[in-house]
Amino acid sequence: MSVVLFKIVPVVLTFLLGFLLRRVGLFNKSNADLFIKLFFHVAMPALILLSVPLLELSLKVVTLPLMAALINLSTYGIAYAVGRRFHLDRPAFGVFVIGSMVMNTGFTFPFILSAYGPEGMAFAALFDFGNAAVVLSFGYYLACRYGGDGNQGSMALLRKFLGSSPLIALVVAVVFNLAGVHVPEVGMEFLKILGGMTTPLMMLSLGIYFDTRIFRTGPLSAVIALRMLLGLLLGSLCVVLFDLHGLVKVVVLILSSAPAGMMTLTYSTMENLDKDFAASVVSYSTLIGLFLVPLFIILFPVH
């Protein structure tokens, strides 16, 4: 567990730094918005172009991304029905369904790498491929649909979706993977520099946005329960249906119960959703995840 803490503490400290910088007046939410846009248009596409071309996309592993997509979409359907009972305005309802659906798989990666090594990370990366595909397509569509003035036409939504920087990077990365195209070493180093901005940009932004006040207590509790508890139940169902065992079973359970993804806050900034509600969803689910993920590693040892 000390190794896991060693990996996680710097991430938590970056979050606390963002929180402190806002409190002393050096940064504000406008700065966080710029950081998030830089993450969305630069750092995240770089990460996609770094990782996806290296995955082994074959029929033998197609079930892992399929499971992630099924969990995403199933959670969305239930969240849509539950969210309507809270009578939220459009920007808040958008956060409700997106926050419930999007898994912060990246949050779990340091835990999985420390506990299970490269093999565990390989399974996690394959699972995350399905999560990313849904988040970058359907998730962004939902953000456009419920953001802005709420009256964007279908063609405008389609143009925004097709012009999404991470989606373009994902398509290019999959083509590179299938065609066996290798990025030159100089290009890889460039992408590593850009992708390396992910943790500071997102954790500083989250720290700047973090507020000890809890926005929309009832909906917030519901989102966290849907994302983490329902996610775990759906992940357990996938384990049974797909007859998973050993390490792959544990990885699926950990990732399916991950906190609400950073993209909830990113999309809220990009498309004018309820950013305060989004920050609460991501912040408090992440705080719970700091205890939940190590607990899973203890309860589900892999021999």
260 beta partners: 103
pLDDT band at 24 (very low <50, low <70, confident <90, very high): very high
- Compute the chain's Rg from CA coordinates: 18
Condensed to tens digits (0 to 9), the pLDDT of residues 96-115 reads 999 999 998 877 776 777 77
Nearest in space to 258 (alpha carbons), one of 215, 296, 207: 296
The residue-averaged pLDDT of 206-213 equals: 77
The residue-averaged pLDDT of 277-293 equals: 86
Q: What is the pLDDT of residue 217?
A: 80
The H-or-E segment that residue 293 falls in is helix 275-299
Contact of 207 with 18, CB cutoff 8 Å = yes
For residue 121, with 0-12 CB atoms within 10 Å meaning exposed, 13-18 middle and 19 or more buried, which class applies?
middle
What are 122's two structure tokens?
């390989």
The CATH number of 2-299 is which of 3.40.50.970, 1.20.1530.20, 3.40.1410.10, 3.30.43.10? 1.20.1530.20
Contact of 65 with 127, CB cutoff 8 Å = yes
- Work out the percent of the chain whose per-residue pLDDT is above 70: 89
pLDDT above 90 for 229: yes
Residues in the chain: 303
DSSP code at position 213: S
Condensed to tens digits (0 to 9), the pLDDT of residues 270-282 reads 788 888 888 889 8
The residue-averaged pLDDT of 62-85 equals: 92
Which pTM does this prediction carry?
Answer: 0.74
Q: How many CB atoms lie within 10 A of CB 159?
A: 13
Among 151-165, 179-193, 200-214, whose mean pLDDT is lowest?
151-165
Q: How many CB atoms lie within 10 A of CB 29?
A: 15
The residue-averaged pLDDT of 11-35 equals: 87
If one compares 150 and 132, the residue with the highest pLDDT of the two is 132
Query: What does the alpha-carbon distance between residue 177 and residue 56 come to, in Å, rounded to a whole number?
Result: 8
Spell out the domain ranges in the chain: 2-299
pLDDT band at 33 (very low <50, low <70, confident <90, very high): confident
pLDDT band at 149 (very low <50, low <70, confident <90, very high): low
